[in-house]
Amino acid sequence: MKSLAIKSGLLASALALAACGQSGPEQKPEQNRTALTISAAQHGVGQPISLNKGWEFTRADEVLTKEQVRQSADWQKVALPHTPRIEPRIVNDQWQGDAWYRRTIDTDAIDSSGGWAGKRVYIDFEGAMNAAEVWLNGEKIASHLGGYLPFTVDLSDHLKPGKNQLLVRLDNRDNETTGPKPLEKLDFNMYGGLYRNAWLRVENPVHISDPVHAGEVASGGLFVRYSLVSEQSAQVQVQTHLRNGEHTGALRIEHRLLDGDKVVASAQQQIPSSAEAAVTDRQTLSVDAPKLWSPSSPNLYDLHTRVYAGDALVDEEHTRIGIREFRLENGELFINGEKTFLRGVNRHQEYPYVGYALSDAAQYRDAALIKAAGFDYVRLSHYPHAKAFMRAADELGLVLLDAVLGWQYYSDNPAFQDHVVQTCRDLIRRDRNHPSVLAWECSLNESWMPEPFIDRLHAAVHEEFPGENVYSGGWQSYGYDIYLQARQHRLDHYEEPTKPYIVSEYGDWEYYAMNAGLNQDSWGDLMQSDRSSRQLLGDGEKRLQQQALNIMEAHNDNFNTPAFADGYWVMFDYNRGYADDLEASGIMSIERRPKFSYYFYQSQRDADDFAGPLAGGYMVHIASHWQADSSSSFYVFSNADEVEILLNGNAIARTTPDSRFSNLRHPPFHFELPEFVPGTLEAVAYAGGREVARHRLATAGEARQLALNVDTAGIAPVAGGKDLLFVHAALLDKNGNRTHTNGIPVTFSVSGDAELVSPAALNSEDGVASALIRVGEKLDGIAITANAPQLEAATVKLPLK
């Protein structure tokens, strides 16, 4: 699971690798990849080969033997990432059963010279839901429990020359050992299948181990830590764990740290070795005037590691790292010595229709949207997320709370407890080199846990990552380094925390349940649905404004606690196992369209702060549709000093931020016009007396035409990697103004090397119908068309100009 040389750089450059089923830099199985048809000799020492293509798939509701499955005629050709069933947009009966995958591993196709002889051959699965069994040539060679973390299958002693038949069975039914609750009672869907990447890895007898597969405490693979971090200098400690099959004698390990093409530090040393004995090497690289990693300046370096046996290069690995220090002191967070509050959000990794089977590019787009929304922190709820998302967080400056699977479920079963502890260890081994990871949530979310069990989890964190400034986090105050508490849990029984504190969730449940307290009584004339933060885009202006108001109140209140971070629930709408509707508290819809609340958070970022590829600078946004039924009272969100409202070109009012939200970084601006007047409503933002941003709304007439937009979130579509793209068809009036009409049927069609994942016929929501497409091996010639009764059709072509 190694990589060829990849220069530090832009997000888009990493995504370009996905064209051959590849992924971005830093890590073992997800580094720079090459196609299966390229020989091992051509693609470098120990480089992994994508196994995303060439699979066959079938599913069964009942448990079948492998012989029964082999005789099945219902095998479909598929590629990874793959979901066992395309689900409806609103999932009320997620499929559970056995998902079977098979493919041929042809040793001759990989290296006709017989270069596999004497080497170790592995398959690395990034994620497979949930209980896995693996056969090669009819022999069962591996099993694995848990759908969110990687596992490795060693083929070395089971391969035969020529063609080998690989068979994988995945069972995504409820599982008492892995938890959490049964699906019918679960707050999210776990989906199924080989939904992440798979890699084939051919290693020399001496090679850098995989950190998860090595199975050793605080070891395995490369382990990078920082004993000194300052603007003047840094000490980068690199621990390298080697597997050694047959070599006796000295091994030489070389490290070079690169900033782009420039080598900024290097080190090497020789160590003795003996056959069949693992080797651990430790070296320190000194860096002068390092470029430190932080949310505002997510600087990354490339660490190039080479291993020599005598004069022969036997292995090579490239790792992207960020030099930084997280330190908690008196309940406050310091990043590289600077006191920092982290404004954040929770994320579920689900897409509509395909569940978890996202392309690497789609994972990056989610991260870019989160950063653009004004967030610098993400709680990965409630399970380990894809490595592609972790890489994006590193590049974009998103601080992560990395979590094991858990939600309102604990069992006295020792197998369950042992499994949770092991997933904690595997999570840390997988993600410990990511500069974005602040702490490890080795805790079962919203689940009572006995103290001895908490002791085991807390100890596992510090055993796997020994040293200072390493933190465990949990929702119980006992045992963990960081106390996580949802706002709804503290309202009636809040006590001043005695340890560093994060508001893990807020803004959803307390408003849904009408028990928020504070100034909720002043809204006594509202119905429960109107009070809620669970509002779909199509629920209309008033209810979207209510969601934003709830969020403003709750976020403002969080600053009355000693929290050093908070995380709104949730970034994107998502499906639940226990409910037949979408959980709609997201600040974006499940199709990644923004609600008013998205722009509130965006306004909380300073204009000169880094916001990723999609945002930045001054902004202003009117939280209104300005249609015939609109209220004349509304908020405007901006990070400027003053906002002026113009109506049909006439200045109406100019004001400063609303003092009722004094804890906020940039409080909203409230306007109350005498009455609604149709036409053009504009907000003009001023900083230092000069205009810095402007937002325009127009009262729309009846829909007369469609306008298509392929939503790339700033990242170009990627061919050859099963990339997924949302296509939005907006209903416009004759003047090009967007309407907000629900329920208008729109039909999509696709030509070229692409397919519709969503149904062809979709209804508009808030004036837009959103389809999901998957691109194939090439972008040229792809065209998407949208039609609707009585409306002018629209077509857009790829690649986008």
Domain spans in the chain, listed from the N-terminal domain onward:
11-204, 222-321, 333-603, 620-698, 705-797
**What pLDDT score does 3 carry?**
35
Q: What is the Cα 151 distance to its own chain's centre?
A: 19
Dihedrals phi, psi of 578, to nearest 5 degrees: -90, -5
Instruction: Give residue-wise pLDDT tens across range 387-439.
Output: 999 999 999 999 999 999 999 999 999 999 999 999 999 999 999 999 999 99
**What pLDDT score does 26 carry?**
31
**What pLDDT score does 276 carry?**
79
**What pLDDT score does 48 carry?**
87
Q: Which residue has the higher pLDDT, 28 or 374?
A: 374
DSSP state of 660: G
% of the chain beyond a pLDDT of 70: 91
Residue 86: C-alpha distances to residues 49, 83, 91 (Å):
27, 7, 10
Supply the CATH classification number for the domain 705-797: 2.60.40.10
Q: Which residue has the higher pLDDT, 530 or 319?
A: 319
Mean pLDDT of 247-274: 95
d(CA 142, CA 198): 15
Concatenate the DSSP letters of all residues of 297-348 into one string: -B--EEEEEEEEETTEEEEEEEEEE----EEEETTEEEETTEEE-EEEEEE-
Statement: residue 7 has pLDDT above 50: no
DSSP state of 210: P
Mean pLDDT of 488-513: 86
**What pLDDT score does 4 carry?**
29
222-321 shares its CATH topology with 705-797: yes
d(CA 639, CA 637): 7
Q: How many CB atoms lie within 10 A of CB 348?
A: 26
**What pLDDT score does 42 carry?**
34
Statement: residue 38 has pLDDT above 50: no
d(CA 436, CA 396): 9
Instruction: Give residue-wise pLDDT tens across range 768-784.
Output: 999 999 999 999 999 99
42's enclosing H/E stretch is none
The lowest-confidence range among 60-74, 191-205, 444-458, 717-731 is: 60-74
Mean pLDDT of 744-766: 98
**What pLDDT score does 525 carry?**
56
458's enclosing H/E stretch is helix 451-464
Statement: residue 113 has pLDDT above 60: no
Q: Give the fold, CATH level 3, of 620-698.
A: Immunoglobulin-like (2.60.40)
Residue 111: pLDDT band with limits 50, 70, 90? low
The tokens describing 642, both together, are 């003053």
**What pLDDT score does 584 carry?**
97
Which class for 146: exposed (0-12), middle (13-18), buried (19 or more C-beta within 10 A)?
Answer: buried
**What pLDDT score does 169 carry?**
97
Residue 5: pLDDT band with limits 50, 70, 90? very low
Torsion angle in degrees (nearest 10) through CA of 392, 396, 399, 404: -10
Statement: residue 526 has pLDDT above 80: no
Residue 670: C-alpha distances to residues 65, 314, 420, 634, 635 (Å):
65, 65, 48, 6, 5
Statement: residue 41 has pLDDT above 80: no
Mean pLDDT of 35-47: 40
Supply the CATH classification number for the domain 222-321: 2.60.40.10
Instruction: Give residue-wise pLDDT tens across range 239-260.
Output: 999 999 888 889 999 999 999 9
11-204 falls under which CATH superfamily? Galactose-binding domain-like (2.60.120.260)
Residue 514: pLDDT band with limits 50, 70, 90? low
Contact 574, 190 (CB under 8 A): no
Alpha helices by DSSP H, listed for 523-677, are: 528-531, 541-558, 596-603
**What pLDDT score does 39 carry?**
30
Statement: residue 30 has pLDDT above 70: no
Contact 34, 22 (CB under 8 A): yes
Which class for 747: exposed (0-12), middle (13-18), buried (19 or more C-beta within 10 A)?
Answer: middle
The lowest-confidence range among 92-96, 112-116, 161-165 is: 112-116
Where in 341-387 does DSSP place strands (E)?
A: 342-347, 377-380
Mean pLDDT of 579-593: 96
Residue 17: pLDDT band with limits 50, 70, 90? very low
Statement: residue 594 has pLDDT above 90: yes
- How much is the mean pLDDT over the chain? 91
CATH class of 333-603: alpha beta
d(CA 42, CA 47): 10
The lowest-confidence range among 359-368, 436-445, 482-491, 645-654 is: 482-491
Instruction: Give residue-wise pLDDT tens across range 657-697.
Output: 999 999 999 999 999 999 999 999 999 999 999 999 999 99
- Using alpha carbons only, what angle is made at residue 361 by residues 146 and 390, rounded to the nearest 5 degrees? 50
The lowest-confidence range among 59-68, 456-465, 630-639 is: 59-68
**What pLDDT score does 527 carry?**
63
Mean pLDDT of 445-455: 96
Residue 515: pLDDT band with limits 50, 70, 90? low
**What pLDDT score does 15 carry?**
30
Residue 115: pLDDT band with limits 50, 70, 90? low
Statement: residue 82 has pLDDT above 70: yes
